[in-house]
Amino acid sequence: MYPSSYELGGRMLNFASMPDITGRKHTFAPWLGLLLTVSGALSNGLPFIGFPAAPVPWMSLLLSLTGIVVVLIGLWRIFGRSAVYKGKISGSIAAAFSLLFLAGSITFFWGARHIPSESANAPQVGQRVPDFTLPDSTGHSVSLTQLFSGDAGSPPPKALLLIFYRGYW
Amino acid sequence: MRGIEKSLPEFQAQGILPVAISVDAPEVSENLRRKRGYTFPFLSDPKAEVIRRYELLHPHGGPDGTDISRPAEFLVDRSGTVRWENFTEDIRVRPRSDELLSAARSIP
């Protein structure tokens, strides 16, 4: 005889509410913490999808640090109140990965800001910039004066926006 | 620089020509231009001579301790005078196109 739907439902219900033999609960805190530290690391990519870049470094750091606090709460539950919470192994794994992501985020945060803090002798507003001649990406030499003279057909620019960047090597 | 390329018509309308400068070799810059579709000029300063003259050197900032340029932007008018400049404190944070464009508006 096939079990009635009532019986099936009853069994499923039974299964879902089957008490853990130790009676201890899982805590999701270490995993939530890990999720936060991973989000912190990933948030560095936000400017690439059009998000304003200025708050991103701090947001990334804040997310990672919040994540670690949540992980610590989880560890405190698991190890400090082990009569109530279980998951020592999974909690430790989540904590280890969170730490790894936090270390990465901090290293990146520090590294991204580790640039000469001031360029005191760089040209200041109101000063003249030195002229120069450099090869363009096709290898042709171009001087500052030539850049001001404009291409054939296009009017000469009123100003140049010189963008110095780190390069992709 | 993606933002600048996207706003290039507005820069051109204001008479602003963006020029990118780094220690990258011309081939590297040309690759980047082709890959990302940049149409403004890229200049190569592999020995960081101009970067040094502009006092923008980031010593040992590149891979294998090579000298590279720190990130910086200058608006230079026809007389060669700096009208606006920006030195970022974090390599992830560069000025937005609208900031650059509003700075450019003050140049006659």
User: What confidence tens digit (pLDDT) does each residue in A9-45 have?
Assistant: 444 444 444 455 667 888 999 999 999 999 999 998 8
Question: Across the A/B interface, how many CB contacts are shorter than 8 Å?
Answer: 212
Contact residues, chain A, for B98 at CB < 8 Å: none
Better-scored residue on pLDDT, A144 or A6: A144
- Is the minimum CB–CB distance between A160 and chain B shorter than 8 Å? yes
Alpha-carbon distances, residue B39 vs A51, A148, B4, B61, B97 (angstroms):
23, 17, 10, 27, 16
Of A31-35, A63-67, A159-163, B88-92, minimum mean pLDDT range? B88-92
Mean pLDDT (whole number) for B54-69: 87
Residue appearing with tokens 């990146």:
A108
Percent helix, strand and coil across chain A, each to the nearest 5: 55, 10, 35
Question: Is residue A56's pLDDT more than 90?
Answer: no
Residue B51 pLDDT: 94
Measure CA B72 to chain center.
7
- Is the minimum CB–CB distance between A132 and chain B shorter than 8 Å? yes
pLDDT tens, position by position, B22-39: 999 999 999 999 999 999
Residue A2 pLDDT: 54
pTM of the model: 0.72
Taking CA–CA distances from A121, the nearest residue in chain B reads B55
Q: To the nearest whole percent, how much of chain A has pLDDT over 90?
A: 53
Question: Is residue A64's pLDDT more than 80?
Answer: yes
Rounded (10°) angle between helices A88-113 and A29-42: 20
Measure CA A91 to chain center.
22
Mean pLDDT taken over chain B = 91
Contact residues, chain B, for A156 at CB < 8 Å: 78
Dihedral angle of Cα B49, B2, B16, B32, to the nearest 10 degrees? 40
Mean pLDDT (whole number) for B39-64: 91
Mean pLDDT taken over chain A = 84
pLDDT band at A89 (very low <50, low <70, confident <90, very high): very high
- Nearest residue, CB atoms, A129 vs list B4, B61, B80: B80
Nearest Cα neighbor of A136 from B70, B39, B57 is: B39
Taking CA–CA distances from B60, the nearest residue in chain A reads A115
Question: Is residue A126's pLDDT more than 70?
Answer: yes
Contact residues, chain B, for A167 at CB < 8 Å: 22-24, 28, 62, 68-69
Q: What are the sequence ranges of the domains in chain B?
A: 2-105
Contact residues, chain A, for B33 at CB < 8 Å: 137
Question: For the stretch A80-108, what's the b/e string if a residue is b when 16 or more beta carbons lie within 10 angstroms of its beta carbon?
Answer: eeeeebbbeeebeebbebbbebbebbeeb
Tell which phi-psi region holds residue B48, choosing left (phi > 0), alpha (psi between -120 and 50) or beta. left
Nearest Cα neighbor of A47 from B93, B15, B59 is: B93
Rg (CA), chain A: 29
A130's CB contacts (< 8 A; 6+ apart) are A123, B50, B53, B54
B2-105: CATH topology is Glutaredoxin (3.40.30)
ipTM: 0.94
Q: Return the HEC string of A34-89.
A: HHHHHHHHHHHHHHHHCCCCCCHHHHHHHHHHHHHHHHHHHHHHHHHCCCCEECHH
